[in-house]
């Protein structure tokens, strides 16, 4: 099949400093109203930052004429590629302290251009940072340090086409720069979907998901992008390679696993064959309230260890449920959802509800096999889930320190881990800032052997020192995760901000192998760095 034309992009303006679209940001009045709920925040919101207020130096390098048409030094483009969308990125932009801004931004359209850009960069001491949608919340798209003459942000979003669809094998050959909506709109006419919907879906790319081993929205079975990969094509300074497209193989270490989660450190993922699914047409949902959070944990574990495989099995503690509007009586709320492309799912939902009732859950259930949850806890949660990153930026404008960190642990450690984070992070935030903090928890993904708790911390910061406050709170949180043998990240990349925790957790033989691989790909060791394609 020939390449499928990509869909037109949204005409809305992306924010260069904060999450999402500029027209979706809270206005000053909404920011002030949110700030009033958190003691110690500013009297009025910080102004929206202007690119004209940034100190953007002239580029330290000039691309050759053969590459000039791919590269821009436009200040707005450079500023938009300087950082990701973590809290510390947003507050630094609000304080006009974005760090090192890339000298150039490149938009290659094919593998050959990616290879040529890497070759030129290697010859001229230019650091290259692969860039997808820029939604990184771990410092993954930011250059830190001064080891290179210049920095090039390699934006792959011009490579956004579905190149081929294999309907018999239910898979597709896709360029890595496709943003979530662009990818799905090309699959929709074929009745197919990748079915990977992280919260950053609108603002992240297939290549970014692969390079960070991203988690999606769905709570069980296929929770991470790894589950959908058939093969990858990667351009490295040492050459290009494409793994074989196979349903499974036991032939030695997986070549794809080498690059999945590598975060661009080993090469640039430019294409992938991905497993697809039929678009679901049968859906059903319900919410279950619990007065005892630990009983709710038991209910979630029972559902995870059944064969029901819910698409959504998200447990909100009382604080999270109140914030999202899912509950106003101090209850924790379990949001359940089932879907299928082949048949009704009402019986599966009913079985999950029975398991929840057996653990003292009180059920709100729309009519079976219908996604009719308007006005319910399910609908309230969905709206809050999509709106949350914008609200976080609004609170940042009020000088609040607010961010979510995520992890995963085995069931035997989950209750103590949650209790420790709530108690110790809350106490540390109070000690650091002098203001009371809220620490809410939700379980987003559940497995037979464990679960993924996500924690949201909110506290008034010290004006001008918000990043330092968050770093101090994060250090406390990281120590707790390490003590309870919980992963430093369940849902997305390690990046620069999780590096300390990651180094504590990875086995040393793996670390040695990774360092050897990076050395082998060092362009300074390549005899002919200009010959990159196989």
| Residue 133 annotated as binding site | yes
Helix (H, G, I), strand (E, B) or coil at 110: coil
Please list the active-site residues.
454
Q: In DSSP terms, which residues pair with 455 in a beta bridge?
A: 405, 441
The reply, when asked if residue 268 is annotated as ligand binding, is yes
Residue 162 annotated in ligand binding: no
Instruction: Identify the three-state secondary structure at position 472.
Output: helix
Confirm or deny that 135 is annotated as ligand binding: yes
Q: Determine the 3-state secondary structure of 122 from DSSP.
A: helix
Asked whether residue 269 is marked as a ligand-binding residue, the answer is yes
Which sign, positive or negative, has the C-alpha torsion 42, 44, 45, 48?
Answer: negative
Q: Do residues 440 and 333 make contact, with C-beta atoms less than 8 angstroms apart?
A: no
Helices within 49-165 (DSSP H only): 75-80, 87-94, 111-123
275 is known to lie in a ligand binding site: no
Q: Burial letters for 150-175: b for 16+ Cβ neighbours within 10 Å, e otherwise?
A: bbbbbbbbbbbbbbebeeeeebbbbb
Please enumerate in sequence order all residues whose Cβ is within 8 A of that of 418, keeping only pairs 6 or more positions apart, or say none.
Answer: 441, 453
**399 annotated among ligand-binding-site residues:** no
Asked if residue 392 belongs to a known ligand binding site, the reply is yes
Does 397 show up as a binding residue in the annotation?
no
3 state DSSP class of 268: strand
Structure tokens at 132: 């997808």
Residue 181 token pair: 């909506």
Classify residue 434 by its DSSP letter. S
Structure-token match 């993924």, residue found? 452
- For 363, list phi and psi in degrees, rounded to 5: -105, 135
Q: How far is 92 from 76, CA to CA, in rounded Å?
A: 16
* Annotated binding residue 346: no
How many residues are recorded in the chain?
534
Dist CA 170 CA 158 (whole Å)? 25
Assign residue 73 a region: left if phi > 0, alpha if psi is -120 to 50, beta otherwise?
alpha
Q: Is 130 marked as a binding-site residue?
A: yes
Backbone angles phi, psi at 226, to 5 degrees: -50, -35
Q: Alpha-carbon distance 56 to 459, whole Å?
A: 32
Annotated binding site for FAD: 130-136, 263-269
Annotated binding site: 130-136, 263-269, 392
Annotated binding site for substrate: 392
């Amino acid at each position: 099949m020939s390449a499928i034309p990509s869909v037109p992009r949204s005409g809305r303006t992306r924010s260069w400093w904060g999450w999402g679209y500029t027209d979706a940001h809270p206005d000053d009045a909404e920011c002030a109203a949110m700030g009033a709920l958190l003691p110690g925040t500013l009297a009025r919101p910080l102004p929206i930052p202007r690119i004209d207020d940034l100190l953007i130096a002239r580029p330290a390098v000039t691309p050759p004429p053969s590459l000039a048409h791919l590269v821009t030094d436009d200040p707005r483009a450079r500023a938009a590629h300087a950082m990701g969308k973590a809290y510390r990125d947003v507050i630094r932009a609000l304080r006009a302290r974005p760090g090192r801004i890339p000298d150039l931004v490149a938009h290659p359209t094919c593998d050959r251009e990616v290879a040529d850009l890497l070759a030129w960069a290697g010859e001229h001491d230019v650091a290259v940072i692969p860039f997808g949608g820029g939604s990184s919340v771990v410092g993954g798209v930011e250059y830190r340090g001064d080891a290179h003459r210049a920095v090039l942000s390699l934006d792959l979003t011009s490579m956004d086409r579905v190149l081929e669809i294999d309907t018999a094998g239910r898979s597709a050959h896709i360029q890595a720069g496709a943003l979530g909506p662009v990818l799905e709109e090309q699959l929709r006419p074929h009745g197919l979907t990748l079915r990977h919907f992280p919260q950053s879906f609108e603002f992240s790319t297939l290549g970014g998901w692969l390079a960070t081993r991203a988690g999606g929205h769905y709570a069980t079975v296929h929770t991470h992008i790894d589950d959908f990969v058939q093969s990858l094509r990667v351009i490295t300074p040492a050459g290009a390679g494409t793994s074989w497209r196979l349903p499974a193989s036991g032939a030695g270490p997986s070549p794809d696993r080498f690059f999945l989660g590598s975060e661009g450190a080993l090469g640039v993922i430019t294409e992938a064959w991905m497993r697809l699914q039929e678009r679901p047409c049968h859906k059903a949902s319900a919410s279950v309230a619990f007065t005892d959070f630990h009983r709710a944990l038991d209910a979630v574990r029972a559902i995870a260890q059944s064969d029901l495989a819910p698409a959504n099995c998200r447990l909100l503690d009382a604080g999270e449920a109140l914030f999202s509007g899912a509950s106003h009586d101090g209850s924790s709320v379990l949001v359940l959802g089932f879907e299928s492309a082949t048949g009704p799912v009402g019986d599966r939902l009913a079985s999950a509800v029975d398991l929840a009732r057996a653990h003292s859950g009180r059920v709100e259930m729309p009519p079976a096999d219908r996604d009719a949850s308007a006005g319910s806890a399910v609908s309230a949660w969905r709206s809050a889930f999509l709106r949350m990153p914008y609200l976080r930026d609004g609170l940042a404008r009020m000088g609040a320190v607010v961010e979510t960190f995520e992890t995963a642990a085995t069931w035997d450690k989950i209750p103590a881990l949650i209790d420790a984070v709530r108690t110790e992070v809350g106490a540390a935030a109070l000690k650091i800032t002098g203001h009371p903090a809220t620490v809410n928890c939700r379980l987003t993904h559940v497995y037979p052997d464990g679960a993924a708790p996500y924690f949201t911390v909110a506290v008034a910061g010290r004006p001008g020192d918000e990043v330092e406050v968050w770093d101090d709170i994060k250090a406390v949180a990281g120590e707790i995760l390490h003590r309870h043998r919980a992963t430093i990240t369940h849902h997305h990349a390690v990046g620069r901000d999780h590096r300390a925790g990651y180094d504590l957790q990875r086995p040393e033989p793996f670390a040695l192998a990774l360092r050897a691989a990076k050395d082998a790909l060092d362009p300074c060791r390549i005899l002919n760095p200009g010959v990159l394609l196989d």
